[in-house]
Structure 1
């Protein structure tokens, strides 16, 4: 049995913070959620988002019901950092900075080693007052000049040392900052497993039954808020497919104004999707009715 995935509860919203869990939920369980975090390399845009992933309440309930996840809360995240934790963080940041300095110097060492022959050639050219760039030389070197270059003695060890000393010290303001996607010092005994009480109301129960029914039929489901519905339904992963249906959950006894139905049909037609109303039968099963805009008439499909 696969390991239980932890969902983090923060201010009544549920999140996934790790790429491994995000990928597993999407690939193995068709759970899409919504990425709401900015990417460290592209912070000033809202087209491509990153972790954390915020889950729909229906997704959380389904995953709990299937025994795939648990909802936890980290009480220590709600407390102001103590001095000991600040010291741990400072020490950790200093360790990362020293590692970057070491890696930068090692990389510079490798570069100088690979380019040493060219560096030596350039040094000899400077001594003779020649152009160091072959592209800028107007003519090829004659034999006498070539011999003169080869006769110039260069102390390779001193030259290597000089090249290494030219590398400026890395300033802390120039260091890369690690962006954590999980709390780096969390431990299993410092979390609390929380109860998840969704759905509660009749409308929430209708939404969940509809979501579960569509999910069990093999569809991918996301929030439908941007098109005025409850859910959007995809035949495959949303990365590869456009949604085909806008799902609107509605009580079967609820009176639906004509102007609202017309407006929703027009929107769904404009975005090339089918509007589907989901209701519960007397037996508690989910029933679907689809509507499409056809010229000046509304066509109803059962």
Structure 2
């Protein structure tokens, strides 16, 4: 990451996003923050196996980064109502016009290369078609590849705006006025505060901590980068004063065992320290 290039988290409603690729890489390599990429790849938009920017952070990941002064929060809920002036609309239309001309030039270049590669077969095909449809041999000699090529290239200029790609700025030029905030922990309720403290404690111990919803817990705990390792633990956060029944213990234990993980029941002691109770399901052989 470039010197002085501070990591910025954009908040919109209850979503926390990081848009800059270098920031996303820095968060993962240096701070062990995983998040979830939710954007589509430009060259493979119709699939969800691999996703691209932005990186969506959980509330706890964003709060951790902001409370440790690693990143600042920019609240996108504060856009003014008169954000787009008439001058700004004219400027945006001019930008789209420039983009349209540039895309037409690219399309024409690609089309020209494709036609040149198939010039021989195209011309032979047109001559054969003309002979089949007409017996006038003098018109057969009039077939000209360059004329046909130009007519095909002219079709690309007929594309309208709805058929054009719209270029989106990864970094908005309209967010410099948005306020930054560091007071996000105060927005957590009691259960979220416990989960945040557990997240911080596990993270400070060197683990990678990711969202655990898909396995029925609050967090998944990895020994290293999730790209290379499976998670070892499912962390389930419970208030110290809450009573859990035997059925609840059994359900959580079997859930963790079914996905080959150890259950961590996490709570906070009276002294404010995080305590862990691990549970794994073990069969007894006769």
Please identify the structure whose Cα radius of gyration is greater.
1
SS at match of 1:232: strand
Query: 1:37 offset after TM fit, Å?
Result: 3.7
Which residue, 138, 163, 185 being the options, matches 2:149? Answer: 163
SS at match of 1:293: coil
- Matched ranges for 1:8-47 at <5 A: 8-39=10-41, 46-47=48-49
Separation (CA, whole Å) in 2 of partners of 1:9 and 1:230: 22
Map of 1:259 onto structure 2: 247
CA contact (8 A) 1:210 1:278 kept: yes
Q: Deviations over 1:142-164 (max 9, x none)?
A: xxxxxxxxxxxxxxxx8656634
CA contact (8 A) 2:194 2:267 kept: yes
Query: 1:173 offset after TM fit, Å?
Result: 5.6
Map of 1:84 onto structure 2: 87
Query: 1:42 offset after TM fit, Å?
Result: 5.3
SS at match of 2:29: helix
Separation (CA, whole Å) in 2 of partners of 1:121 and 1:225: 58
- Matched ranges for 1:1-302 at <5 A: 2-39=4-41, 46-74=48-76, 75-76=78-79, 81-108=84-111, 119=119, 160=146, 163-170=149-156, 171-172=159-160, 175-178=163-166, 180=168, 182=170, 184-186=172-174, 188=176, 190-198=177-185, 200-295=188-283
CA contact (8 A) 1:248 1:278 kept: yes
Gaps of 5+ in 1: 130-157, 298-302
Separation (CA, whole Å) in 2 of partners of 1:67 and 1:272: 36
Q: Deviations over 1:98-143 (max 9, x none)?
A: 0011223344556677x5xx8579969999x9xxxxxxxxxxxxxx
Across the aligned residues of Structure 1 and Structure 2, the Cα RMSD in angstroms comes to 3.4
What is the number of equivalent residue pairs in this alignment?
266
Separation (CA, whole Å) in 2 of partners of 1:77 and 1:204: 31
Separation (CA, whole Å) in 1 of partners of 2:37 and 2:120: 53
CA contact (8 A) 2:10 2:17 kept: yes
Q: Which has the larger displacement, 285-294 or 66-75?
A: 66-75
Q: TM-score, normalised by structure 1?
A: 0.73
Query: 1:28 offset after TM fit, Å?
Result: 2.3
CA contact (8 A) 2:66 2:182 kept: no
Gaps of 5+ in 2: 129-143
Map of 1:141 onto structure 2: none
